[in-house]
């Protein structure tokens, strides 16, 4: 499998969805992987064929990622990295959990796999429409909703507050659309093929 630096300029910026392997912390939570503390395999498929997979396991301070990777012409390399959790406080006295990107320390909800798992900023990943792969379209739609609400475009940030003057009914509808779009994005790109101990 090719990763960043495998001959393509611009990191992972490509319209081939098989080149992206995002891991979404919210998805790990939804599937129960975060609560199981056992190794789980996540695979990515394209056209019905699995093209890559990794193993992940919840640990106290983060999620361990284990996989083999190879740049074209190089030997296979075993990667075993702990992606640490970071926590921020919410307005309601709770906390929100994030991945902390290893090289840059940014909090993010989604890590993108190439040779290593890093945040979108580290890869220079953009969602410009001319480069937009099919899997990213739900993200763009969700970003438009967030833009309309005057919030951050990052799906890693909480859904924006209701702007003054907007009807609650409109706001709730946009929030439901946002939920639907982010779930659809995760479903399109990730597939949980099973848990095993070890
Ligand atoms: Zn980063």
Per residue in 155-193, pLDDT tens? 666 788 999 999 999 999 999 998 888 777 666 655 544
How many Å lie between the centroid of ligand 1 and the Cα of residue 153? 17
Q: Positive or negative, the Cα torsion across 181, 185, 187, 188?
A: positive
Cα–Cα distance for residue pair 96/77, rounded to 1 Å = 33
Kindly provide the residue ranges of all beta strands, DSSP E only, lying in 14-115, ordered along the sequence: 21-24, 39-46, 49-59, 62-69, 77-89, 95-100, 107-108, 110-113
Cα–Cα distance for residue pair 112/1, rounded to 1 Å = 14
How many Å lie between the centroid of ligand 1 and the Cα of residue 103? 6
How many Å lie between the centroid of ligand 1 and the Cα of residue 172? 32
How many Å lie between the centroid of ligand 1 and the Cα of residue 165? 37
How many Å lie between the centroid of ligand 1 and the Cα of residue 118? 5
First to last CA, the chain: 25
How many Å lie between the centroid of ligand 1 and the Cα of residue 168? 36
How many Å lie between the centroid of ligand 1 and the Cα of residue 102? 7
Question: What is the pLDDT, as a whole number, of residue 151?
Answer: 79
Question: What is the pLDDT, as a whole number, of residue 16?
Answer: 40
Helix (H, G, I), strand (E, B) or coil at 10: coil
How many Å lie between the centroid of ligand 1 and the Cα of residue 87? 16
How many Å lie between the centroid of ligand 1 and the Cα of residue 123? 8
pTM to 2 decimal places = 0.59
pLDDT > 50? residue 74: yes
């Amino acid at each position: 499998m090719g990763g960043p630096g495998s001959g393509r300029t611009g990191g992972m910026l490509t319209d081939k969805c098989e080149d992206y392997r995002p891991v979404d912390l919210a998805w790990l939570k939804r599937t129960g992987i975060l609560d199981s503390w056992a190794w789980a395999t996540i695979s990515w498929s394209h056209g019905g064929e699995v093209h890559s997979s990794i193993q992940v396991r919840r640990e106290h301070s983060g999620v361990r990622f284990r996989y083999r990777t190879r740049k074209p012409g190089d030997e296979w390399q075993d990667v075993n990295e702990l992606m640490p959790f970071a926590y921020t406080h919410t307005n309601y006295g709770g906390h929100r959990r994030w991945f902390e990107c290893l090289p840059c320390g940014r909090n993010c909800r989604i890590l993108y796999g190439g040779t290593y798992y890093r945040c979108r900023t580290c890869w220079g990943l953009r969602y410009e429409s001319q480069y937009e792969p099919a899997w990213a379209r739900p993200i763009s739609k969700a970003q438009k909703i967030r833009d309309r609400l005057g919030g951050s475009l990052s799906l890693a940030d909480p859904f924006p507050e209701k702007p003054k003057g907007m009807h609650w009914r409109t706001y709730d509808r946009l929030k439901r659309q946002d939920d639907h779009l982010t779930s659809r994005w995760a479903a399109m790109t990730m597939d949980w093929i099973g848990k095993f101990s070890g």
